[in-house]
A and B are shown apart, each in its own frame.
Chain A
Amino acid sequence: MAHDPRREDYQRLSLRYALELDGDDPFAASRAFATFGRRFAQNRDSLPQSDADRAFHLVTLATEAIDYRLPFATDAQAEELISRGRALLDEALSLDASCWDALRMRSSAQTSSIDERYWFLAGRVDEVQASCEEERERVIEALGGERGTLGATISMRPYWRWLASMAEQALICGRNHDAVAAAERLLASDPRDLSDVRFTLAYALAKLEDEEGLADLRRRYATISPLRAADDAWITLAEVALAHKRCDFSAAREGLSHLLATYPKCGFALIRQSELPDGEFARLRVQPYGEDEIIIAVSEGIVLLQEGSDRSGRGVLGSWVAKAVSELDPTAADEASRISGGEGVTRQ
């Protein structure tokens, strides 16, 4: 699972639309609903919506620019995308001061350090929770039934995303207990883990070298994510890190083999270990077990890989992983060295 801003935008407006139709005769309602999709796509402004809905729509546009287009942009485009993203978020906040997604996304550019960003998120999380819960109660009362359930989920998502960001930020700051606490708070509020915060939790537990906690998380997967087994890149990499820390190199190597067997082009990502900017709206939505997912998991795993006094600058685990994967997957090693060789040429 993952947060999908466009789908959420659609869901918000369809709920609002359904609410407005209630009371009309059912045939008219179903006719009206038949045109909803077209109107959503082509004539959004003709649909009923609140300022909060409009603000969220601006958030989806900002997400499109910052999270999904910026990574592929040229320098000139990048500047434009960033300022466009910021303007959209500002506008969202001017429409709806409780647009927590906009406030959260904007804070990454407005705070001067990762600590400050963390403190900003931690400092307002209770307020965000209270606001989202209040909205949830209102929505359940207004909609009731199945729609009420969907509406309630949608109301809580900004809080969940807030906590997911907080957990990730705490992890980057080196506050691993705080990362665990934020992740657990999110899992308590959303036991089905729409945000996939258990991935961040796995890394935080590995940082704390909490073998039991990680084993327990693996068991909890059955209830947290019944449709996705505990074989994703995050929990596997967390286990590789712990095996390496207890000098159980064969178990660590087994974990890497598992990743190589599960993810395509995984060897290359594990050798390169590139660090990418995190998604501002939420962790980027990519194909599970796809090429992009391993890249994201490795990028978030830099906190584990780049630790220790290794002279190569890659970190003790990072160096070991690159070496072990090169042995397990020589083709990927060739490709990685070809590309870094090529980069050397371009730089000159």
Chain B
Amino acid sequence: MRAWDELVTRCAERRRAEMGGLSDQAFEELLIAVRENPAAFAEAAPERALLVLARALDAYRESRSHDDLLDDEAFEAERARRLEALRAECERALAEDERCLDARLVSLLAADLEPDPLLEGLLSLDREFARELPSGDAWEDVSCRPHLRLRAAVARTCVESSRFRMAQSAALSVMDASPSDPLGARHTHMLACARLEDEPAFDAVLARFSHRESAWSHLARVLLLYKLDRMPAARRALHGLDELCVGGAYALLRPTFVEIYLPDRPEASVCGLAECMMAVREAEPIIADVPDFINWCQGFDWLAASGARFAEKNDLEW
């Protein structure tokens, strides 16, 4: 979530509405001014709440940069402290504006709940903040973005809690409301298709996004074909994942801890290591449901060699 950008847009758009009749050029200048000092422009309650949240998310991300030096126990303690601090900031944001959905969402996610209670919380937020989204691309309306983020989190949590039809429909509702899908709900949808062995739906969603591949699409394809017992095709798909995803083999064979998304996936380059790690983490319940899958992957020497090469080149543990 680019909280600062959204804050700037919100402040500038409110000003424009208040001033009325602003030319495009004047609006550009207004944007520049707001960007330079968003705090000075955050006058309305929703903006003040978002300001608190933007600062809190910065602090949260900053505090994560020292984790490498901690042992497991210290890491756990630090992580708990960090999430608690973030929740406290969310409360402060909500004191500014109790209808700040992003603060509610981040606070709920940072509670680090089990999948069932988390889903329950998300669905109850969805009911509480229910609103009609505009036609076209709802992402263009900055006030709709929190709703899209919430629905995307619902979809991901459905995968976590093994509710794959529900994951599909939640992800589809995000894609329908925002066809450009900047939140990547399609990735969640593809994973659910793999688990449900639903090849037509997988193909359809890939075609809908002009066959733009991602770490999720590659991984979902391998899982899908493997589950459908089309083994030569699954092997080719695995080969594709290895060839086209940087560190794909490494991420698959050496899954590492991926922090919960607050409130959405961190930005990452397409088919890069970070994306692969996220895809593997999100697919974890699906991978665990095909008990021989990782063994099968490991059986290909070229895959293990590729993972080991990547680890050596990037100074990672193997």
Contact = CB atoms under 8 A, between A and B. Distances in A.
Interface of A: 113-115, 122, 172-178, 208-209, 245-247, 303, 307-311, 315-317, 319-320
A173 B196 CA distance: 14
A20 to B, nearest CB: 46
Given A115-B296, A175-B227, A310 B115 contact: yes
B116 A316 contact: yes
B276 to A, nearest CB: 18
Contact of A309 (B160, B165, B166, B296): B160
Interface string B285-309: 1001111110110000000000000
A307 B228 contact: no
B284 interface: yes
Contact of B284 (A173, A175, A309, A311): A309
A307 B285 contact: yes
User: What does DSSP make chain B's interface, helix, strand, loop or mixed?
Assistant: helix
B291 A114 contact: yes
Given A174-B227, A320-B116, A246 B163 contact: yes
A185 to B, nearest CB: 15
Contact of A113 (B119, B196, B292): B292
Nearest to A170: B229
B180 interface: no
Contacts of B116: 310, 316, 319-320
Contacts of A245: 162-166
Given A245-B163, A247-B166, A173 B114 contact: no
B161 interface: yes
Contact of B293 (A174, A309, A320): A174
A114 B115 contact: no
A251 B197 CA distance: 26
Contacts of A122: 229
Most buried by B among A114, A122, A172, A174: A174
Contacts of B3: none
A317 B289 CA distance: 14
Contact of A208 (B115, B160, B196, B290): B196
21 contacts: A122-B229, A172-B291, A173-B290, A173-B291, A174-B289, A174-B290, A174-B291, A175-B197, A177-B227, A245-B163, A245-B164, A245-B165, A307-B162, A307-B289, A308-B115, A308-B160, A309-B115, A315-B162, A316-B160, A316-B161, A320-B116
B311 interface: no
Contacts of B292: 113-115, 173
B259 to A, nearest CB: 14
Contact of B165 (A174, A209, A307, A308): A209
